[in-house]
Amino acid sequence: MINIRTLQAPDRAPIAALLRETGFFTGKEIDVALELIDVYLKDKNQKDYLIYVAESDGREVAGYVCYGPTPVAEGTYDLYWIAVAPRFQRHGIGKQLLSFIEQEVQGQSGRLIIIETSSQEKYGSTQNFYLRSQYELAARIKDYYRAGDDRLIFVKYLHHHKT
Ligand SMILES: CC(C)(COP(=O)(O)OP(=O)(O)OC[C@H]1O[C@@H](n2cnc3c(N)ncnc32)[C@H](O)[C@@H]1OP(=O)(O)O)[C@@H](O)C(=O)NCCC(=O)NCCS
């Protein structure tokens, strides 16, 4: 069982550690992820970055997700980061974090979630994760990150049920 809650200052170090442990992110990418965490922690009034942590029964930080409204678009949200510590992977935590933010976005009358990732072979599991979560590949920008490393854009349109 996990509990999903808002990010607090003591979560910063465990998140830095789990981002490193995944082996998926460069030092620069981790710096950017931590910058967003710092924005979130320092400015309680900002609404650009919303961050939630998945906490295990033993109160460990098992994973986290960072998303926010896409500037200038209406009802569109970007998922900026999602990561689960290797020892907690394949237990459905990523799926729970993703469906949690989908509910949040829906609650804010959002209609579209965008996720970007790399085409590198090591991201095959990540791509599978998005596809299994009903995201569709909407675009591919060839050689975006570097030669041979494309930018993949996954999308999910949320359907609102009128009551
Ligand atoms: C992608 C990630 C967040 C998934 O989190 P997770 O908690 O392991 O995922 P879940 O257990 O909820 O898996 C949901 C489904 O995704 C797919 N999936 C997840 N990890 C997979 C893997 N390593 N290989 C193949 N499919 C995978 C499976 O279909 C899985 O369902 P199943 O376990 O019933 O087969 C996690 O693997 C991770 O942190 N990866 C490294 C960082 C990363 O790539 N982040 C995204 C880029 S910003």
CATH number at residue 37: 3.40.630.30
**Ligand 1 centroid, distance to 16 Cα (angstroms):** 19
Domain count for the chain, please give it.
1
- Using 50 as the pLDDT threshold, list the residues of the chain that sit under it: none
Instruction: Please indicate, yes or no, if residue 126 is contained in any of the structural domains.
Output: yes
Instruction: Please indicate, yes or no, if residue 53 is contained in any of the structural domains.
Output: yes
Q: Which of 98, 125, 131 to mutate to test the pocket of ligand 1 (most atoms within 8 A of CB)?
A: 125
**Most distant CA pair in the chain, distance:** 49
114 Cβ closer than 6 Å to some ligand 1 atom: no
DSSP codes, 58-90: TS-EEEEEEEEEPTT-SSEEEEEEEEE-GGGTT
The pTM assigned to this predicted structure is 0.94
* Structural domain span for residue 103: 2-157
Taking the CA atoms of residue 32, residue 34, residue 36 and residue 42 in that order, the dihedral angle to the nearest 10 degrees is -140
Instruction: Please indicate, yes or no, if residue 96 is contained in any of the structural domains.
Output: yes
24 Cβ closer than 6 Å to some ligand 1 atom: yes
Closest CA to 18 of 79, 77, 50, 66: 66
Instruction: Please indicate, yes or no, if residue 162 is contained in any of the structural domains.
Output: no
pLDDT of amino acid 163: 54
Q: What's the chain's Rg over C-alpha atoms?
A: 15
Q: What share of the chain is helix, strand, coil (3-state, %, to 5)?
A: 35, 35, 30
Residues pairing with 79 in the sheet: 67, 115
| pLDDT tens digits along 19-56 | 999 999 999 999 999 999 999 999 989 999 999 999 99
Instruction: Please indicate, yes or no, if residue 163 is contained in any of the structural domains.
Output: no
79 Cβ closer than 6 Å to some ligand 1 atom: no
pLDDT of amino acid 161: 62
Instruction: Please indicate, yes or no, if residue 56 is contained in any of the structural domains.
Output: yes
pLDDT of amino acid 162: 56
117 Cβ closer than 6 Å to some ligand 1 atom: yes
pLDDT of amino acid 5: 98
Residue recorded with tokens 């942590």: 53
Rounded to whole angstroms, the Cα distance separating 48 from 62 reads 23
**Ligand 1 centroid, distance to 129 Cα (angstroms):** 5
pLDDT of amino acid 159: 84
Instruction: Please indicate, yes or no, if residue 60 is contained in any of the structural domains.
Output: yes
